[in-house]
Amino acid sequence: MTAQHQEHAAHPHAHGPDCGHDAVPHGDHTDYAHDGHLHREHGGHWDECEPGDHTAHGEHAHRHGEGCGHRAVRHGDHTDYLHDGHRHAAHEGHWDDH
């Protein structure tokens, strides 16, 4: 999965453990869910942390939804579910890795 480097300009808010936004573990860094999108610190500024391509999570038998036991995080026009250090999103009958 390739992430795009898209700087989130004019972002005066500094995310951190007590900022009030959901912290989302993502690979080797932490994203923060803010206004339906995810920010990560990168080189002294904040980037949008979005996947650059479509990556299906193969053989994922677990169905995410209300009461599934995984934390739900709003992401754009859908909901991601935190599972084993990454995010899953429903997509056309399968789950994508975000």
pLDDT at residue 10 is higher than 80: no
Residue 5 phi/psi, 5° resolution? -95, 100
pTM higher than the cut 0.75: no
Higher pLDDT, 30 or 25: 30
Tokens of 75: 């992401």
Q: How far is CA 50 from the centre of its chain?
A: 7
Report the Cα–Cα distance between both ends of the chain, in Å, rounded. 8
- Given its phi and psi angles, is residue 87 left (phi above 0), alpha (psi -120 to 50 degrees) or beta? beta
Confidence of residue 41 (pLDDT cuts 50, 70, 90): confident
Instruction: Find the mean pLDDT for residues 6-35.
Output: 78
Mean pLDDT of the region 87-91: 79
Q: How confident is the model at residue 70 (pLDDT cuts 50, 70, 90)?
A: confident
CB atoms within 10 A of CB 26: 17
